[in-house]
């Protein structure tokens, strides 16, 4: 009993340390579009901007993928939609009309979020999660892979993806989500596949992990994710918002 209790405490401490490592509230302290911040303990609806960032040593990188996720535990619903990276809009803080993903290169997380809020006519963004796209495959591998329903048959890199249920490891998932040139819908098809994989990750993440998987996930997250969610806020999301995935709607902004 003592050994089990000690190990549980170790895991709890490890999770808290990882959360502290990835938490960066200075980049985004909450939307000015709200008079009061959303209260996770009361189950207020919240919105999260997921940014897949293509970072390079030579520059700040760009937000290669932009995805909004809104959660409403009262209706047990999750809405997920993609914003094409080539969408032309005003870059808040510069006053120029450019591709929306340029905002990250100019002003990091804050400018990117403010630009997305403006692009969505004032929809508030409560939280952000920034993921290094190159680590995407490590995250998928850490949770044991995902299964998605593929709508079109295609080849990307060294992999063939048939129509129907497809099991993806990390490397396949990265290839699956990056293909767009051979898709008749172009970037819209690519973002749809990104949503499929993210939905699968969320679904898998809501299930109980064994100890080995949990340790591996924490290691990957700690090295490749930044967010303004604190440990306590993550805990509230997991406990109060996990049923939102049961009623999911996805689409893309056109």
Q: What integer best gives the mean pLDDT of the chain?
A: 85
- Torsion, Cα 228 229 231 232, to 10 degrees, reads 130
Token pair 């006053």 in the structure block, residue: 95
Residue 220 and residue 137 in contact, taking contact as beta carbons nearer than 8 Å? no
Question: Running DSSP on this structure, what letter comes out for residue 84?
Answer: -
Kindly tell me if the per-residue pLDDT of 125 is higher than 90: yes
Q: Which of 193, 145, 150 is nearest to 170 (CA)?
A: 145
Q: Which residue has the higher pLDDT, 67 or 224?
A: 67
Rounded to an integer, what distance in angstroms lies between the CA atom of residue 124 and that of residue 37? 10
CB atoms under 10 Å from CB of 2, counted, come to 6
pTM for this model (two decimals): 0.80
Rounded to an integer, what distance in angstroms lies between the CA atom of residue 54 and that of residue 144? 24
Q: What is the pLDDT of residues 79-117, one digit of tens each?
A: 999 998 889 999 999 999 999 999 999 999 999 999 999
Q: What is the mean pLDDT of residues 229-248?
A: 88
Kindly tell me if the per-residue pLDDT of 50 is higher than 70: yes
Rounded to an integer, what distance in angstroms lies between the CA atom of residue 67 and that of residue 228? 16
Question: Running DSSP on this structure, what letter comes out for residue 207?
Answer: S
Q: Give the pLDDT of residue 44.
A: 95
Torsion sign (Cα): 13, 170, 152, 50 = positive
Kindly tell me if the per-residue pLDDT of 59 is higher than 60: no
Kindly tell me if the per-residue pLDDT of 13 is higher than 80: no
- Torsion, Cα 174 176 182 188, to 10 degrees, reads -90
């Amino acid at each position: 009993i003592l050994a089990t209790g000690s190990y549980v405490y170790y895991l709890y401490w490890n999770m808290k340390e990882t959360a502290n490592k990835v938490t960066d509230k200075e980049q985004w302290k909450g939307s000015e579009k709200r008079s009061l911040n959303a209260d996770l303990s009361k189950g207020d609806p919240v919105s999260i901007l997921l940014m897949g960032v293509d970072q390079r040593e030579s520059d700040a990188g760009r937000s290669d993928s932009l995805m909004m996720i809104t959660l409403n535990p009262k209706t047990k619903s999750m809405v997920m939609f993609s914003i094409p990276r080539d969408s032309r809009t005003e870059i808040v803080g510069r006053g120029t009309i450019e591709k929306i993903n340029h905002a990250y290169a100019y002003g990091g997380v804050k400018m990117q979020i403010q630009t997305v809020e403006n692009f969505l006519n004032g929809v508030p963004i409560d939280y952000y999660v920034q993921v290094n796209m190159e680590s995407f495959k490590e995250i998928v591998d850490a949770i044991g892979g995902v299964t998605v329903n593929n709508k079109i048959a295609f080849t990307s890199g060294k992999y063939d993806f048939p129509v129907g249920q497809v099991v993806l490891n990390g490397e396949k998932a990265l290839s699956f989500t990056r293909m767009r040139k051979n898709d008749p819908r172009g970037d819209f098809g690519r973002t749809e596949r990104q949503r499929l994989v993210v939905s699968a990750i969320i679904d898998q993440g809501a299930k109980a992990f064994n100890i080995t998987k949990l340790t591996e996930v924490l290691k990957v997250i700690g090295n490749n994710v930044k967010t303004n969610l604190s440990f306590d806020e993550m805990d509230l999301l997991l406990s109060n918002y996990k049923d939102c995935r049961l009623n999911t709607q996805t689409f893309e902004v056109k």
